[in-house]
């Protein structure tokens, strides 16, 4: 197999001697200064021309890691040119080093390499822990302390799974206080006698840390007045908070300080850590490691992994805000973003901005998405949101790992929220859950009637408009339909109207309620998810765990996790765990739901096979944790990003 070219990402403007002195002076006043005051800056660290070293080591018996990697000699032989990466509008979104020739062959090799890496992850599922790491999650939310969606679930469960496997794990997240009952979630977190001063946004900001050791994990909460306000972590009834860039910039700086200064369990995590930066809120962490710490000999042995849960949100702000981020001026190109002409607000708008997520894509040592399907989709113009070319240039270090679920919280044999417990060996309790749900919501009690459910945000991404447009035709069938969620007002009003029109068949619960979501998952026969894109999706995993059959649009993590039903397979009850459809349309959704309804009514043995295969599917975080360990190993195989 041909060698795989790992492209470098960008070249920074070379700094003047004065700018370096000013930067050293500013950083020395705050943060990690005490760690490097007696260190000498190496010659290599003074040159801020960014270089990405290739793999040069050959490791016996580890072809799966070194296969397809570029050799340093090969790069020197062919020579490299600096080329710009542009989106479809011609806007520059990044830079890469490309060979003089064989460009198309290089891109093919990258794709082949990524495919092999994905296979290696799957083959690693049965491996035991080889090496333990100090792992630092940086996230804007972590259940049960804070949660608005799947990000909170992942950062609340995956750290526990990794700690169970022997790793030392820290989760760094804000300490959100709103003066309400939710503040009690932080009751067991104790203030650490350590404060950090962070230079950003034109001043020095002091943060404190709170710590709770639970389930083998160090839960660290960054405390600052900007996190103390009503609403969600991101906004309130009036919209997103105007200072979110500052709030999450502060989180990233504090997260980089925490392993160095917090004596958790009697000693710090130290510099040899692997940082997992989750979404744009934590995306400044890889940039800080490269720009603020490594030039002074700090975190030279650390690695960073960017975990993309939703590429649609990138942390884009005006270019003028760069000076507030606490980064040296010569690193502006890493975050530089130019909006296409059609997206600019007026004729004099230059479209210049900073994109925090782009900076992480440039500087992270590895990139992960929350499903393998989504890792491919984000390299396409349709799914890349302007970053597809930059992500394509990093395919060699881009992989997807499907999320797991908390199998203790989501367990039909012990769930405290449902009316009756059941298991794959005794499904009688599921019928009782259905009857109880119909009674609770005021629907006619008809256990034989197919009951369809939807749980999720009421917005365009989730395909709610497709569902609502399909309801009139579906209501002509002998079915009942339940929707739970909140979001755009037009969809909330639409749900209320449909309930008044179809009193005997439709119920819409505006808002979100955790116990009710459990009862809908257990009581429904079918769960539909016609999402336009879905990085992973968790509700389909919950549904299968509870014997509820998913009918989903074939995209991202939905395509990865739901196996389309084949009634003609050799097995007596067929094969598959649900129905998938594509392309997304009202007609295709209706057709797939009618297939599911017909199978439920007319083919009991096939339906029971679907239910049992879904309940038996392995969805725990244990498998995902093993796959993350493989990526940790790959991250430490390559030298860290250096500027």
The answer to whether 543 and 521 have CB atoms below 8 angstroms apart is yes
Higher pLDDT, 97 or 275: 275
Phi (first) and psi of residue 50, to 5 degrees: -75, 130
Strands 549-553 and 579-581: parallel
Q: Encode pLDDT of 553-570 as tens digits.
A: 999 999 999 999 988 776
pLDDT (mean) for 352-356:
95
Q: Which of 223-237, 304-318, 558-572, 628-642 has the lowest mean pLDDT?
A: 558-572
pLDDT of residue 529: 98
DSSP element (H, E) containing 173: strand 168-174
CA dist 451 and 474 (Å) reads: 12
CB proximity list for 21: less than 8 A, separation 6 or greater = none
Q: Which residue has the higher pLDDT, 64 or 197?
A: 197
pLDDT at 180 over 50: yes
Please give the C-alpha separations between residue 180 and each of 152, 430, 487, 513, 566, in angstroms, as whole numbers: 19, 36, 22, 17, 50
CA atoms of 382 and 371, how far apart (whole Å)? 17
For residue 339, the model assigns a pLDDT of 86
For residue 170, list its beta bridge partners.
136, 218
Q: What was the pLDDT predicted at 512? A: 83
In this prediction, residue 573 has a pLDDT band, given cuts at 50, 70 and 90, of low
Exposure class string for 397-421: b at 16+ Cβ within 10 A, else e: bbbbbbbbbbeebbbbeebeebbbb
Task: Calculate mean pLDDT across residues 246-268.
Answer: 96
Query: Residues 246-263: what's their mean pLDDT?
Result: 97
Rounded (5°) CA angle 165-167-168: 140
CA–CA gap between residue 251 and residue 222 (Å, rounded): 7
Q: Are 402 and 372 in contact (CB under 8 A)?
A: yes
User: How confident is the model at residue 127, as a pLDDT?
Assistant: 62
Can you give the pLDDT at residue 572?
A: 64
Backbone torsion region of residue 158, taken as left when φ is above 0, otherwise alpha when ψ lies between -120 and 50, otherwise beta: alpha
pLDDT beyond 70 at 201: yes
**CA 141 → CA 229, 251, 410, 548, distances in Å?**
15, 11, 20, 28
pLDDT in tens, 65-113: 333 334 344 433 333 333 444 444 444 344 333 333 333 333 344 344 4
Q: Residue 492's pLDDT is what?
A: 93
Give dist(CA 574, CA 610) in Å, integer: 8
Distance CA 314, CA 576 (A): 36
Q: Inform me whether the pLDDT recorded for 632 exceeds 80.
A: yes
- At residue 148 the predicted structure's pLDDT band, cuts being 50, 70 and 90, is confident
pLDDT tops 70 at residue 501: yes
SS (H, E, C) 138-170: ECCCCCCCCCCCHHHHHHHHHHHHHHHCCCEEE
- How far is the C-alpha of 166 from the C-alpha of 148, rounded, in Å? 29
Closest CA to 464 of 479, 483, 450: 483
Closest CA to 492 of 452, 443, 454, 459: 459
For the segment 421-435, the average pLDDT, to the nearest whole number, is 97
The reported pLDDT for the residue numbered 239 is: 87
Q: Which long-range contacts (CB under 8 A, 24 or more apart) does 500-505 make?
A: 502/471, 502/475, 504/443, 504/444, 505/443, 505/475, 505/479, 505/480, 505/481
Count of CA atoms in the C-beta half-sphere (13 A) of 156: 19
Encode pLDDT of 292-335 as tens digits. Answer: 999 999 999 999 999 999 999 999 999 999 999 999 999 999 99
Question: What's the confidence (pLDDT) of residue 21?
Answer: 34
- Spatial contact of 334 and 363, defined as CB atoms under 8 Å apart: yes
According to the model, what pLDDT value does residue 31 have?
Answer: 54
Q: What is the mean pLDDT of residues 477-496?
A: 94
Average pLDDT rounded to a whole number, residues 331-360: 91
**pLDDT tens-place string over residues 103-144:** 333 334 434 445 444 445 554 445 666 789 999 999 999 999
What does the mean pLDDT of the chain come to? Answer: 83
Query: Per residue in 30-68, pLDDT tens?
Result: 455 334 333 333 333 333 333 333 333 333 333 333 333
Q: Give me the residue label for tokens 């990405």.
A: 52
> Above pLDDT 90, what percent of the chain?
72
- Rounded percentage of the chain residues whose pLDDT exceeds 70: 79
pLDDT at 347: 85
Query: Quick check: 308 and 279 in contact, CB under 8 A?
Result: yes
Q: What is the pLDDT of residue 499?
A: 95
């Amino acid at each position: 197999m041909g060698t795989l070219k790992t492209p470098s990402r960008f070249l920074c403007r070379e700094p003047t001697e004065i700018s370096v002195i000013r930067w050293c002076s500013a950083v020395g006043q705050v943060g990690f200064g005490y760690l490097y005051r007696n260190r000498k800056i190496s010659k290599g660290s003074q040159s801020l021309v960014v270089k990405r070293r290739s793999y040069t080591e050959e490791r016996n018996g580890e072809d799966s890691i070194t296969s397809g990697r570029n050799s340093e000699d090969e790069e020197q032989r062919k020579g490299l040119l600096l080329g710009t990466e542009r989106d479809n509008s011609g806007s520059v979104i990044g830079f890469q080093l490309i060979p003089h020739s064989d460009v198309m062959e290089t891109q093919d090799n990258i794709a082949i390499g990524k495919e092999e890496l994905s296979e290696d992850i799957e083959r690693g599922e049965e491996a035991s822990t080889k090496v333990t790491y100090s792992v630092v999650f940086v996230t804007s939310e972590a259940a049960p302390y804070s949660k608005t969606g799947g990000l909170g679930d992942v950062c609340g469960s995956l750290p526990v799974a990794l700690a169970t496997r022997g790793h030392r794990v820290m989760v760094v997240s804000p300490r959100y206080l709103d003066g309400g009952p939710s503040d009690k979630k932080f009751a067991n977190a104790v203030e650490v006698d350590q404060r950090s001063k962070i230079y950003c946004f034109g001043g020095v900001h002091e943060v404190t840390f709170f710590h709770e050791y639970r389930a083998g994990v160090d839960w660290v909460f960054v405390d600052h007045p900007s996190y103390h306000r009503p609403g969600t972590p991101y906004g309130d009834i009036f919209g997103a908070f105007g200072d979110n860039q500052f709030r999450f910039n502060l989180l990233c700086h504090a997260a980089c300080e925490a392993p160095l200064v917090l004596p958790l369990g009697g000693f710090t995590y130290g510099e040899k850590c692997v940082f997992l930066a989750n979404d744009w809120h934590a995306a400044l962490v890889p940039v800080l490691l490269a720009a603020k710490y490594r030039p002074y000999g700090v975190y030279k042995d650390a690695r960073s992994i960017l975990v993309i849960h939703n590429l649609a949100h990138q942390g884009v702000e005006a270019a003028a805000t760069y000076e507030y981020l606490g980064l040296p001026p010569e690193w502006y190109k890493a975050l530089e973003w130019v909006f296409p002409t059609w997206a600019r607000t007026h004729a004099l708008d230059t479209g210049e901005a900073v994109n925090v997520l782009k900076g992480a894509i440039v500087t992270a040592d590895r990139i992960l998405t929350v499903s393998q399907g989504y890792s491919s989709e984000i390299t396409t113009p349709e799914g890349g949101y302007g970053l597809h070319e930059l992500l394509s240039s990093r395919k060699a270090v881009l992989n997807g790992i499907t999320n797991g679920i908390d199998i203790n919280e989501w367990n039909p044999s012990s769930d405290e929220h449902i009316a009756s417990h059941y298991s794959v060996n005794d499904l009688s309790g599921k019928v009782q859950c259905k009857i109880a749900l119909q009674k609770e919501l005021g629907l006619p009690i008809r256990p034989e009637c197919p009951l369809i459910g939807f749980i999720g945000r009421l917005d365009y991404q989730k395909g709610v408009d497709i569902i609502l447009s399909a309801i009139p035709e579906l209501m002509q069938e002998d079915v009942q339909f339940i929707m739970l969620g909140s979001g755009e007002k037009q969809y909330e009003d639409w749900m209320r109207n449909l309930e008044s029109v179809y009193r005997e068949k439709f119920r819409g619960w505006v808002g979100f309620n955790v116990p009710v979501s459990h009862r809908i998952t257990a009581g429904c026969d079918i769960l539909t998810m016609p999402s336009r894109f879905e990085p992973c999706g968790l509700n389909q995993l919950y549904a299968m765990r509870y014997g509820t059959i998913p009918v989903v649009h074939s995209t991202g993590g939905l395509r990865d996790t739901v196996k389309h039903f084949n009634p003609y397979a050799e097995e007596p009850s067929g094969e598959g765990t649900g129905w998938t459809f594509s392309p997304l349309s009202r007609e295709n959704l209706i057709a797939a739901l009618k297939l599911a309804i017909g199978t439920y009514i007319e083919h009991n043995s096939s339906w029971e096979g679907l239910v049992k295969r879904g309940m038996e599917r392995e969805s725990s975080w244990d498998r995902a944790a093993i796959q993350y360990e493989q990526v940790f190993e790959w991250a430490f195989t390559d030298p860290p990003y250096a500027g």
